Amino acid sequence: MGLFPAFANTETDRTPRPLAERMRPQTLEEFVGQEHLLGPGKPLRTQIERDALSSMILWGPPGCGKTTLARIIARMTKSEFVPFSAVLAGIKEIKDVMAVAEKLRHHGRRTVVFIDEVHRFNKAQQDAFLPHVETGSIILIGATTENPSFEVIAPLLSRTRVHMLRPFSAEQIAELLRRALADAERGLATQKIEIAGELLTRIAVFADGDARAAYNTLEAVALGTRPDADGRRAISQETLQDVLQRKMLQYDKSGEEHFNLISALHKSVRNSDPDATLYWLARMLEAGEAPLYIARRLVRMASEDVGLADPNALPITIAAMQAVDFVGVPEGNLALAEAAVYLSLAPKSNALYVGYGEAQQDTQKTVAEPVPLHLRNAVTGLMKDVGYGKGYQYAHDAEEKVTSMPCLPPGLRDRTYYRPTAQGFEQRLRQRMEEIRRIKAKGPEKPQP
């Protein structure tokens, strides 16, 4: 029996364990992903290898390896590993474990206390760990999917180092699944599973960065496939669809179909076709495309294809991006649909897109002329003496709030970059620009007294 029977390690449990639990990496070499933290020479890996641990918070989305990493750290540093759950542990349990950890420390043994979902611990529970973290009686490793800045009390946060873990890529999850299929001891190799690489990729894509979800799906599909006479389990697309409870759409998040569909969505918006816009949007979302990727593309469409023909287009797409980030899927899908349809029905103008492109080309192809002296601020006496600010005309002093003062460098004085169309709000902007040209053509205007 361990020193912490109330928190016994489940690794010694002989009851059947889920595939995700069986396939947990045991060493850093088996661990996939998080290269920014665990790559050769990275600070956290160096800490682990040198056995120079300090308390830390592992912050990342579900299924990205927080618990696994904590167990590896405890194993590599030969520490007692005590997992806590905010649902099961109270102040009394915390104090009991801390007392044992303190005794172990006096005998040269270290305790790693792992707090899963640390954001669910209340202030009193978090306070109970403070003195033990401060004295070094324990190494505290907290795991959270929430921003520690808001969910962890400041005194505890100041005594820990926060490490951000990233969701697994589809490629990394596919590699983990291939390992499970090839592993006879912990994985599924003995079940003789046959699955096409495309279907394995679909599982990885639908997992959306969550390795645990991918393992669970693969295991469910394997269990739901009847073996043939030779004991082989050939997983079909239909079986996978049944497990996922959704139609499998042809899609590759990093391949040609990805670009084909976003192209179809963009061009449907540009061509003011709301029905096609909704269809291609649904195709992408239902196939597992990241909603924030679509949101970013809608923001681009708002500036590139609508522009100032409808100034509301950009804030509406930004709001949709924030909404989908806030509520997630599937609820956020409607926010994307709202923004996409708005863009498709909005008046169109690429005047901003063309104008910025021309200005960008001029910065590359023409001499970088100095800022004209009259546009410079004379913040010192010397600057004023050499002519900084000389000839500057303050527009607010003019009756019509416009002066004839040139603002482009001399070599580009006649350039026109922004040419508004007659669409939507840009029609008013074009009228305003014509009015400004007439005012400037009058020549210098005397300031009001």
Tell me if 79 sits within 8 A of 51, measured CB to CB: no
Provide the pLDDT for residue 76: 86
Using the predicted structure, report yes or no on whether residue 12 has a pLDDT greater than 90: no
Provide mean pLDDT across the span 220-224.
85
Tell me if 180 sits within 8 A of 195, measured CB to CB: no
Least confident of 12-16, 126-130, 160-164, 323-327: 12-16
Q: For the chain, which domains are there?
A: 5-164 (3.40.50.300), 186-244 (1.10.8.60), 256-345 (1.20.272.10), 372-441 (1.10.3710)
Structure tokens at 225: 């496939």
Give 253's contacts (C-beta < 8 A, 6+ positions apart).
Answer: 170, 205, 288, 289, 290
Tell me if 100 sits within 8 A of 4, measured CB to CB: yes
pLDDT tens digits, 270-280: 999 999 999 99
Provide the pLDDT for residue 198: 84
Largest Cα–Cα separation, the chain:
101
Give 358's contacts (C-beta < 8 A, 6+ positions apart).
Answer: 415, 417
Provide the pLDDT for residue 86: 62
Tell me if 274 sits within 8 A of 341, measured CB to CB: yes
Tell me if 9 sits within 8 A of 2, measured CB to CB: yes
Provide the pLDDT for residue 10: 46
Q: Is the model's pTM score more than 0.85?
A: no
Provide the pLDDT for residue 108: 66
Distance, in Å, from the CA atom of 64 to the CA atom of 68, rounded to the nearest integer, reads 9
Instruction: Establish how many alpha carbons lie within 13 A of residue 311's alpha carbon, considering only the half-sphere containing its beta carbon.
Output: 6
